[in-house]
A and B are shown apart, each in its own frame.
Chain A
Amino acid sequence: MRVVVAEDNLLLREGIARLLEASGVEVAGLAGDLDELLRKVRGHKPDVAVTDIRMPPTHTDEGLQAARRIRAERPGTGVLVLSQYVDEDYVFALLGEGTEGVGYLLKDRITDGDRLVDAVRRVADGESALDPEVVSHLLGRKRSAGPLAELTERERTVLEEMAEGRSNQAIAERLFLSDRAVERHVSAIFAKLGLTATADTHRRVLAVLTYLRA
């Protein structure tokens, strides 16, 4: 698996590159701003572009712009965006143009376990990889009594996994459940939330997140 890493902070950029290489991921190129990132992606044709959201020139949404342009020019290239904190608008902008092969991870968390490498792999595989912090951020809004309060403990956990972009199979593995058990929970969740059930992992990520945000 080959990646290009874009981050304007030199220390972090080197650190991320070293970490990925130590985990067996080839770092084909490094970039410090949006233009350099796009150039390196065109040149090296990586499987995934790992990029900070805020970079020169404007330090606002370069990561988003990169995601848009890379996926337009080279569909099938995954984009994993790194952010300092949860920005709901960016999350939904990112997912709005397609939930396949896209990820959003908090920078604070990249030293936790194998989170970074795991996210890169999932994005390379065409899945969505959302930081759990994003999900709990959205879940945290819906404190008032509503359909969410009707979910069981187990259903809530499955919901969070779904929101992070995991497939039924992945959820089953993580929660030590059978595939069928997971399917049952998913159906129950969708029924309780009043959402149209969809087997498509990608679409349901967006559906669940949109529900949580509303």
Chain B
Amino acid sequence: MAAVLMAEEGGEAPFTRLLGVIGDGLGWHYGGVWLPAPHGLRCAATWSAPGHEPFAAASGELVLALGEGLPGRVQASGAPAWIVDVHADENFPRRPVAVETGLHAAYAFPLLGAGAMEFLSVERLEPDADLAATLASLGRLVGQFAEHRRAEAAVRDSEARKRAMLDAALDAVITIDHTGCIVEVNAAAEEVFGHPAAALVGREMAEVLVPPSLRGRHRAGLARAAAGGGGELIGKRIEIAALYADGREFPVELTITRIDVPGPPMYTGYVRDITDRVERDRELRASRARIVAAADEARRRLERDLHDGAQSRLLAVGLDLKVLQGELSGEPARRLAATRDELQRATAELRELARGIHPAVLTQLGLLPALRTLVRRAPLPVWLHHEDEGRFPAPVESAAYYLTAEALTNVSRYARATRAEVSVARSDGALVMEIRDDGVGGADASSGSGLRGIADRLAALDGRLELDSPPGSGTLVRGVIPCAS
């Protein structure tokens, strides 16, 4: 009997053989195993001596409620039950079939854990204490076995569900051991990396999925983790390059988790191919930069056209009027003088307008000379600090200039400050502009389009705008613009 139980066998076959062994041993003619089902018990396995197959068949199709029938009452009471003659029993749904096949005595005992085992014989038998005792301990053993089988089935189910979830995932899920060998991959890994799943398991991940330039770092990280350190990347989402089967590198988003199991840990990586997203981002940034550059070019052209066209014309007209004035006297001369004054004002306005659109000195001489002019024309004292006379790429100088112009305009309009400072510095390959004032603070970048527009312009160059303006404490406008040069 132990041999039967120990044999690893799937399904209910062990129960059937067990029933056969016991039934034959006892000289009885039918045996059945009942296991818990929703709402009661179901017949999980039967054995019958030749001639009693119908009874076995009828039992197999039956589902008994708690307390119903022989198995039901054993399960309900938790104690064995002996029926001398089922023909006389009120609570035996299978009585008709028993009568037909000539089965009389029945004995059932609980299986530890739930369920029951029953045997029927053609003879009418009185309860036998020894038999009962033997069968009771047998019941416990079988119960344990049934419980074990149930747990195994549950694990198999959950394994199957987990597997199904992993395979349904669109991202690749790859598990490696502490030496870096691939232990498990899901179906998506084939799609993402271009290797059949079977070809990956057992290989060193660094060798097959990591670009050559990153292998050293990867192996070093694993070694550090094995030595008790490392772990900086665990649980973080990082963007990194991966290796496709054909040898090309592609960008991925990677999250690594550590699995703590007895012994050395294992690691699972969740990998998403972000080639499309990276491409989209690149195109977006490029198009944004193009828009800003186009706008700047249009402004430069406008300034040039104004200078070469309308401004020169007005200047020439002014010169002519000056000559004319020399030839007149009295009232006409006075009226002409007034006209010339008007012309001077118009010319000055046009000059200011052109400078506001785009100061020629910015294109031709660069940021610092343009800032010097800007600073000097401010209505309040402004200090200009800079380290050297070095130049920056044209779009960067443009952005820095307009940032300063906008900031100083705000200072003169709102800040009620007594002085301001503009500083130009280089830091980590970026241009850092700071415009400080000692005014009333409380500036807000979201209200008003001026700083918002500047922030957008800086963002188009991968820069950023920072505003620090606590009420009552003055304002600091800071622009950081990376320079490719």
Could you tell me which A residues sit within 8 Å of B by CB distance? 9, 11-12, 14-16, 18-19, 21-23, 84-89, 107-108, 110-112, 136-137, 140-141, 143-144
Contact = CB atoms under 8 A, between A and B. Distances in A.
A15 B315 contact: yes
A198 B372 CA distance: 30
Contacts, number: 69
14 contacts: A11-B312, A12-B312, A12-B315, A12-B316, A15-B318, A15-B320, A85-B373, A89-B365, A108-B315, A111-B315, A111-B319, A112-B344, A136-B376, A137-B376
A23 B320 CA distance: 12
Contacts of A144: 383
Interface residues of B, number: 30
A86 B326 contact: no
B323 A87 contact: no
Contacts of A87: 361, 365, 369
Nearest to A15: B319
B41 to A, nearest CB: 98
B318 A111 contact: yes
A33 to B, nearest CB: 16
Contacts of A111: 315, 318-319, 322, 340, 344, 347
Given A11-B315, A88-B369, 20 more contacts: A9-B308, A11-B313, A11-B316, A12-B312, A18-B319, A22-B326, A84-B307, A84-B360, A85-B360, A89-B365, A107-B315, A111-B319, A111-B344, A112-B344, A136-B376, A137-B372, A137-B376, A141-B372, A141-B376, A143-B381
Contacts of A85: 360-361, 373
A108 B313 CA distance: 12
A19 B308 contact: no
Nearest to A9: B312
Pick the most buried of B315, B317, B347, B369: most chain A CB atoms within 10 A of its CB: B315
Main secondary structure of the interface of B (DSSP, over half): helix
A133 to B, nearest CB: 10
A188 B327 CA distance: 46
B373 A137 contact: yes
Contact of A18 (B323, B351, B376): B323
7 smallest beta-carbon distances between A and B, as pairs: A15-B319, A11-B316, A140-B376, A15-B316, A111-B318, A22-B323, A19-B319
B384 A141 contact: yes
Interface in B365-385: 365, 369, 372-373, 375-376, 381-384
B373 A86 contact: yes
B307 A110 contact: no
A16 B308 contact: no
